[in-house]
Amino acid sequence: MRIETMGDVVTWSSGFHSNLADFIEASVAQSKDERLKMLSSYIADHERQLAKTIAAFEVVESDNALGTWCTEFLNKQPLPDTAIKDERWAHFSANELMDEVRGIHQQLMALFSHLLSRSAATPAADMLEQLLDVEEHQLMLMAHSANRLEDL
């Protein structure tokens, strides 16, 4: 997908989270670690919910915000390819899985922060702040729940 406007960022982000959910479940499916499978299912559910939340921005945001141009996007830190499963994820511990997911979300938050710094005086600034807040909140929820799972 070619990213040119903030609307493209929203569409791409929603699709990325949906694909990430499928990727995590497929990649961990062969694991013999039941705790890892539970955690991956939980994370995948959060990713799908996050995809729906982000997709809603396309409906509620103004055309001015969504139409704001941004040509600089995924440059130096490409996110993982979620098109095919990664067999090594099936051998992760729950902590390693959470570390990978945390790293991906931190990359997305860095991206949104970067775009926000470049669009401070545009209609897209509020939307980017909200996207950043949603990412941060969901990451905190997932991390908290992963810690509770470890306590079991």
The pLDDT tens digits for 80-93 are 778 778 889 999 99
- Residue 70 CB: number of other CB atoms within 10 A? 19
pLDDT at 98: 92
Q: Give the residue, 134 or 115, on which the prediction is more confident.
A: 134
88 CB-near residues (< 8 Å, 6+ apart): 27
CATH of domain 6-151: 1.20.1260.10
Q: Where are the domains of the chain?
A: 6-151
| pLDDT higher than threshold 70 for residue 37 | yes
| pLDDT higher than threshold 70 for residue 76 | no
Q: How large is the average pLDDT for residues 134-149?
A: 88
